[in-house]
Amino acid sequence: MSEPAESSTSTSTAVEEDKFPWQQLAVLALCRLAEPIAFTSITAYNYLYVQDVRHTEENAAFYAGLLVSGFALAEASTAMLWGTISDKYGRKPIVLSGLAGVALSSLIFGVATNYWVALAARVVGGLLNGNVAVMQTMVAEMVKNPKHEPRAYSMIPFMWFFGSIIGSSMGGLLARPADTWGAFKDTIFDEYPYLLPNLVAAAYIVIAIVVGIIWLKETNIYAMASTKTSHGSADERTPLIREPESAPPTEGEEQKTVARRRSMASIQPVTTGTTVDLRRLSNLTTASSVKPRLSAHDIRGSALEDSFLDDAPPAQGYNRWMILFILQLILMSYHSMAFGSLMPIFLLDEPSPGISDTALDLHGGLGYTLRDVGAFMSINGIVAIFVQGVLFAPVVEWLGVWKTFVLLTVLAPLAYVFPPFLTMIPHAQAPIGIYANLILQNFLLIIIYPCLLILLKDATPTMAMLGQVNGLAMAACSGARTIAPPLVGFIYGSVGSAAGWWSIGAAAIIAGALIPFMKRPPRPDEEDET
């Protein structure tokens, strides 16, 4: 192959990598949408479902909560396992098998006439589904240009919000269809009144699986290299030395790798391109004649990685910075979920007796109706979608990932300190304060979350373990989300509303207090950021 041809090939590869991966992200978004639709479709009818299958109203709220938390807990328990498996065998099979597990769970749930069968279906669906962490890892592997990461990373949570709205609406509309539409009388949907929403969810998941099989590309280069090696395929473009497939290197290996990389950079001339013509190797007589063909992005990224690894404590897998970012994700998940569970209670709870409209009520709520709360939460969902889909990328592109994370984490406690003071606003003007608080919380937390995921990816020493790292992070976050509602509810009920809110604020303050002990991982697009 001639030099001009090689240069043309390398240039086209660089241009291709610089493009935003719209097509693959769209396919992944379609797959991601399936889970929140299936997960949240039961929320509209969950309480009635429990009463029907248990034939009693006693403790219906408790058992309904188990159906919701059962899936989340099961998913958390296997998230790291699925992430680790995806590191070795690839992301695509894990994503598709996870979707199949959710579809199976939905169908069994829809025809279950026994509560424990329904709960088992939810648990099995959670155990088989590790898609949150794996899909987040796929986003990291799809995006080659770091400047595209904010926009790409916002896709996963955006699809969750969007799917949650679709799922909740679908569940309320399609459950008990025989009671609404006469055409469903004396049909299977009359015998199984909750089958239809689950059947529709399963049908969508099947479509997503088919689309994924056809168009979703594998992103784990280590798994792809392993597959090619096992098949014994090689041609003149096959690298003489393959990327490692194994776990992260030991301390000695990491030091040798860094030293070797720096040594090569100092003695070898560097040209553009990513390949070496094997037919010309026979004419080479010395090792110094072989010119490594690296892209500018590779060289720049390697130098940044070297700098970060020098500062980070060497470890078999997890370094100090990764652990701190995971801890930040746990704290953020806790206070975000606590806010979501406490706000409806606070809105519905009656004010304390004898408290005037303009006095600070430390124990009671705002006294709104269920319909009012529904309106508040609906608008809150619209605000969340707007922040995620419209504001996130421009804000992060303007400030940078690290500065955005630091600034919003420091401001986050305000969203939890402010609610008790809403009791001092006259009832007619209180909605203004409520919406302001909801907008503030949405803006802060929705933007912090993807920033943390990007920073965690940057702090991970090797992409070979990214699935495992994301799996651990998502499992820990699921645990925090499971603990948050009952804990903050207990504080609210036993001490008072203000104590409940300010306990959430304490978690956010701890997150801010950790920032001085953290280090910004290197980013090729932000090397001058302080």
Q: What is the DSSP string of 97-141?
A: HHHHHHHHHHHHHHH--SHHHHHHHHHHHHHT--HHHHHHHHHHH
Question: Are 210 and 324 in a shared domain?
Answer: no
- Would 374 be classed as within a structural domain? yes
Cα(138)–Cα(324) distance, integer angstroms: 22
What is the tens place of the pLDDT at every residue in 455-464? 998 888 877 7
Question: Are 206 and 325 in a shared domain?
Answer: no
Task: Say yes or no to pLDDT of 205 above 80.
Answer: yes
Angle at 489 between CA 488 and CA 490, to 5 degrees: 90
For the record, the structure tokens of 203 come out as: 């049908």
User: Confidence band (pLDDT; 50, 70, 90) for 292?
Assistant: very low
In this prediction, residue 108 carries a pLDDT of: 94
Task: Say yes or no to pLDDT of 481 above 60.
Answer: yes
Average pLDDT over residues 355-376: 80
CB contact set of 190 (below 8 Å; sequence gap of 6+): 178, 184
Give the alpha-carbon dihedral of 25, 85, 239, 270, to 10 degrees: 60
- Would 281 be classed as within a structural domain? no
Question: Are 356 and 492 in a shared domain?
Answer: yes
Question: Are 519 and 396 in a shared domain?
Answer: yes
Structural contact between residues 289 and 267, judged by C-beta atoms closer than 8 angstroms: no
pTM here? Answer: 0.64
User: Confidence band (pLDDT; 50, 70, 90) for 489?
Assistant: confident
Question: Are 491 and 381 in a shared domain?
Answer: yes
- Would 276 be classed as within a structural domain? no
Domain count, the chain: 2
Looking at 25-34, 117-126, 355-364, 490-499, which range is the least confident one?
Answer: 355-364
For the record, the structure tokens of 490 come out as: 């207990």
**Segments forming the whole domain that contains residue 38:** 20-225
Give the alpha-carbon dihedral of 76, 81, 84, 89, to 10 degrees: -120
In this prediction, residue 385 carries a pLDDT of: 82
User: Confidence band (pLDDT; 50, 70, 90) for 427?
Assistant: confident
Q: Which of 73, 174, 188 is nearest to 119 (CA)?
A: 73
- Would 311 be classed as within a structural domain? no
Question: Are 338 and 465 in a shared domain?
Answer: yes
Structural contact between residues 148 and 19, judged by C-beta atoms closer than 8 angstroms: no
Task: Say yes or no to pLDDT of 57 above 70.
Answer: yes
Structural contact between residues 109 and 163, judged by C-beta atoms closer than 8 angstroms: no
Task: Say yes or no to pLDDT of 316 above 70.
Answer: no
For residue 319, CA distances in Å to 323, 336, 524 come to 7, 26, 20
β-pair partners for 271: 293
Which CATH number does the domain housing residue 163 bear?
1.20.1250.20
Q: Where are the alpha helices (DSSP H) in 216-250?
A: 221-230
Average pLDDT over residues 390-416: 91
Question: Are 208 and 349 in a shared domain?
Answer: no
User: Confidence band (pLDDT; 50, 70, 90) for 207?
Assistant: very high
Cα(508)–Cα(8) distance, integer angstroms: 51
In this structure, how many other beta carbons lie within 10 angstroms of the beta carbon of residue 469? 28
User: Confidence band (pLDDT; 50, 70, 90) for 239?
Assistant: low
In this prediction, residue 226 carries a pLDDT of: 61
Task: Say yes or no to pLDDT of 212 above 90.
Answer: yes
Average pLDDT over residues 315-342: 84
Cα(253)–Cα(9) distance, integer angstroms: 33
Question: Are 324 and 217 in a shared domain?
Answer: no
Residue where one domain finishes, among candidates 209, 225, 241? 225
Q: What is the mean pLDDT of the chain?
A: 77
Average pLDDT over residues 193-205: 92
In this prediction, residue 307 carries a pLDDT of: 44
- Would 64 be classed as within a structural domain? yes
Residue where one domain finishes, among candidates 167, 200, 225? 225
- Would 9 be classed as within a structural domain? no
Looking at 71-80, 192-201, 226-235, which range is the least confident one?
Answer: 226-235
User: Confidence band (pLDDT; 50, 70, 90) for 61?
Assistant: low
Average pLDDT over residues 8-17: 54
What is the tens place of the pLDDT at every residue in 91-139? 999 999 999 999 999 999 999 999 999 999 989 988 888 787 788 888 8
- Would 242 be classed as within a structural domain? no
Question: Are 200 and 343 in a shared domain?
Answer: no
- Would 256 be classed as within a structural domain? no
Question: Are 36 and 170 in a shared domain?
Answer: yes
Residue where one domain finishes, among candidates 180, 209, 225? 225
Cα(41)–Cα(166) distance, integer angstroms: 8
Question: Are 218 and 327 in a shared domain?
Answer: no
User: Regarding predicted confidence, which is higher, 55 or 99?
Assistant: 99
